[in-house]
Every structure is written in C-alpha cells, then in structure tokens.
Amino acid sequence: MNFASQRVAKPYFIGALALFAGQIIFGLIAGMQYLDGSFLFPAFPFSVIRTVHTNLLIVWLLMAFMGAAYYIVPEEAQTELHSPRLALLTFWVFLIAGVLTILGYLFVPYSQLAAMTGNAILPTMGRGYLEQPLPTKIGIVLVALSLLFNVTMTLAKGRKTSLNIVLVAGLWGLALLFLPAFYFPVDTVKASYSWWWVVHGWVEGDWELILSALLGFILVRMTGVDREIIEKWMYIIIAMTLISGIIGIGHHYYYTGAPEYWIWLGSIFSAMEPVPFLMLVVFAVRMLISRRHEYPNHAALLWAIGTPVMAFLGAGFWGFMITLAPVQYYTHGTNFTAAHGHLAFFGAYAMVSLSIISYAMPHLRGRMANSLRAQRWEMTGFWIMVISMFVIALALTGAGIVTVFLQRMGEHPISFMGVQYQERVFFWIREVAGFTFFSGLVAYLTSFFVGGDPVAAHGATVPRGR
C-alpha cells in the first residue's frame, strides 16, 4: 500500500464481509423453510427471507467493489484519493441505509413499507433484486455518484493506466445500468423487459468488466508479469464479454411476450457467454505460469486462480446448460436457475471480491502477507466454501431435473407442491452443504484473527522460460 488514503477501503471490506455472513445466515433460514414451510412463519415468511438473502448479496458485493475501487484507483493513479473523508462518509451512509432497509424488510410488511416510503409517488418496488424502497434506491444512486466523483477526480489528476480506466468505466456502467430500476411500467412484459437491463446488464455485462479489472490488478501485483500483457488480455476478454453479453440478454426474453427473434438471437449469443470466462481461466493460468516471483500471499493467489475457474463453471457451464431456448422451455423457473445463480454469483463476484480482500487486507494491516498459519485457515475456508457451493449447485441441479421430468414432461404431470415434496432429498443435501459452507466462512473469518509472524517479502525469483 503506497497511499494513506487507500485505508478507506478497510471499512468497506469489513462491512462487506459482515453482510456476507448475514447473507449466508438468511440463506440457511431460507433453505430450512424449503424443508419445513412453517419454520419462523408467520414472523418471517420465505418471501421476506429470500429478499433479505438476495439484497444482502447485492449490497455486500457493491460494498466490496467500492472498497476495491478506493484501494486500487489511488494505487494505479499513483496519487492520493481525491477525498478520503467523502469516501468514509459514503461508507457510513451506505451501511446505515442498507441495514435500515433490511430491518424494514424484516419487521414491516412489504406493502406497508411501500406505503411508508413513497412507492405511490414513483412505483419501483417489487421486482426481484430491486425490492428496495424508493429512498434506498435514491440512496444507492447518491452513494454511486459520490464514489464516481471521488474515483474519477483521482483518476483525472493521476496516472491513467488502462486497468484503472477499465475499472472506473465499469463503475460508471454499474451506476448507469441501475437507472432502469426507476422505470417500472404497469405492463408486465415491459416491466420484465426493462428489469433485465439492470440485472443482466450488471451480472452478464458490466460486472464482468469490473471482475476483469480486479483480477487484472491482482495478477499484475502478484505475478510481476508486465502490465501490457495483462492489459491486452483484459481488453480481449472485455470485447468478448460485450460481443456475447449485450445481445445475449435475449435469453431472458424467450416466451415473455417479447418479439420472437429473441429466441434465435438470445440462444446464439448467450451460448457464447462462457467464452470470456474460459478466456479468464486461460489468462489467469498463463499469468501464473509466467510469474516472475513467488508471491508470499498464497491464499490470495489461490483465490485469484479459483475465481476464473469457478466463474467458468458457474456462470459459463451452468449458464450454458439452461440458456438455449428449447432447453429453457422446460427448465424455466426450476432449481436449475437457482443452481446456476448460486454457483455463478459465488464463483464470479463473491470470489473476486474475496480475492481482492485477500490481497489488499494484509497491506491495509501493514504487512505483505499474513502468517502461514493465518493463510492455512484462509485456504481451508476457501476449499470448504468452494466444495460446499459446488455441492449446493449439484443438489439444486438434481432438484431441477426432477421438476423437469415430473412437472414439465410426461402424460401426467405432478403439481408444483407435489414435485417439491419429491425433491426433499436434494433440499436436505443443499441445506447440509449450506451449513458446511457457513463453517468454511467461519474458518475464513477466523483467519483474520489468527496471529503469527507475517510473511514479509517476495519468495524466490521464478526462473524464466518455465
């Protein structure tokens, strides 16, 4: 860490991890409600728990991205952050608004929350991931504007590296793509159509830019490979992301009332969406092979390699399984989607956030890398969480297959609840894997409190030509 103002990233990372833990707890509760519908009912119905689970995900990822931006932009620009005070103020505003919103979901009936928060003035509430009350949505825009002002001013006065430009452009895209959240037409076709501008635009477009930039930054720092080579890879990955991802939005438009041509365009282009993720894997592995020295933070290296692999599996492979229109005809709304959603969100965005946290936190705590003992805890957490999430995805895929065969095909389809009962074994597996995931998270969080002598310097230089 070269600049004092980078320290503002620390509360963002800590806040993100706390909210991550909250997200997992609510995920466990939701998973339990699949097995026992009366669990915590009527105090906390499934719809509320699910909303809290998904909203915490969005908030903690945004918080981690913001922390990453406040850490990376000054370092790349080789100058202090424009206003560390504003960044800190923004953190507290974001955290308090986020917590108040979650409390609102939990303790105020949703319709009452809508009435209390001015939803009648500008209706925006109700769509998945975008359930936030109007003041929270306005707050998100203000927080994003504050971030953009701060990082853009920093970039403007400092060194302009490609990596930094891509990261800041990605953050601008993130903010702009949130604006359709304020457009919620009564027409359900149009409402669904525009909803995907935010959700797809984020996770299958803009966030991939941010992911590439974060991974690029970590790899520049940890492998010692020339930044020109890393930036070149970043460019082609981004180009491929946009080529496949923009028109790939059509895979959300099948059979929704949108024009029929989306069935072709959505299928063809979204089928290519795994390609940039595969490129990320090739990129990360090549950079690792070409590394010039052994970086002492092995845990961060593990996260950085694990991210593209898991992102490819979750977003790429699992996404491809359900993306073609004839397949989607049968799998739509089944647990196939939940399997893809879990593995993709965790593999791509949660893991890249944990990667940058793993890289940056030791620096923010005044060391290059944590002690070997702490790293062992962190890596144990890594493997438990990765394997558990993989089991969750497999279990949900199994449930999805059962739904397709029992509810969507055959002469005598079984009712929705009848099928849910048949799938109980998969929901049990998912819940048990959820608990092991949580234990992995505990191991990961424990690593922050494990003592020992920090590993101070670069290891041996890697001989060329390997």
Residue 160 interacts with other proteins (CB under 8 A)?
A: no
Residue 285 interacts with other proteins (CB under 8 A)?
A: no
Minimum CB–partner distance for residue 272 and other proteins (Å): 5
Longest Cα pair distance anywhere in the chain, in angstroms?
68
Look at residue 257 and give its three-state secondary structure: coil
Among 157, 232, 365, 373, which residue interacts with other proteins (rule: CB under 8 A)? 232
**366 Cβ neighbours under 8 A, 6+ residues apart:** none
Round to whole Å and give the CA distance between 120 and 136: 15
Does residue 180 have a cis bond before it (omega within 30 degrees)? no
Round to whole Å and give the CA distance between 186 and 169: 32
Return the range that interacts with other proteins (CB under 8 A); candidates 95-103, 230-238, 295-303, 309-317. Answer: 230-238
Specify the residue for token string 């059962």: 402
**In the complex with other proteins, which residue's Cβ is closer, 189 or 239?**
239
Residue 79 interacts with other proteins (CB under 8 A)?
A: no
Which pairs with CB-CB distance under 8 Å and at least 24 residues apart come from 251-259?
251/323, 251/325, 251/328, 252/192, 252/196, 252/200, 253/193, 253/196, 254/325, 254/328, 254/329, 254/332, 255/329, 255/332, 256/189, 256/192, 256/193, 257/188, 257/189, 257/192, 258/189, 258/193
Q: Which two tokens stand for residue 171?
A: 């953050």
Minimum CB–partner distance for residue 237 and other proteins (Å): 9
The site for other proteins, by CB under 8 A, has a size of 27
Return the range that interacts with other proteins (CB under 8 A); candidates 42-50, 229-237, 386-394, 411-419. Answer: 229-237
**In the complex with other proteins, which residue's Cβ is closer, 277 or 444?**
277
Residue 236 interacts with other proteins (CB under 8 A)?
A: yes
Residue 369, beta-bridge partner list: 455
Give residues 446-465 in contact with other proteins (rule: CB under 8 A).
464
Return the range that interacts with other proteins (CB under 8 A); candidates 180-188, 234-242, 395-403, 423-431. Answer: 234-242
- As a whole number of Å, the CA-based R_g of the chain is 22
Per-residue binder mask for other proteins (CB under 8 A), 261-280, x = binder: x--xx-xxx-xx--xx--x-
Residue 239 interacts with other proteins (CB under 8 A)?
A: yes
Q: Which residues bind other proteins (CB under 8 A)?
A: 226, 228-229, 232-233, 236, 239-240, 243-244, 259-261, 264-265, 267-269, 271-272, 275-276, 279, 282, 286, 290, 464
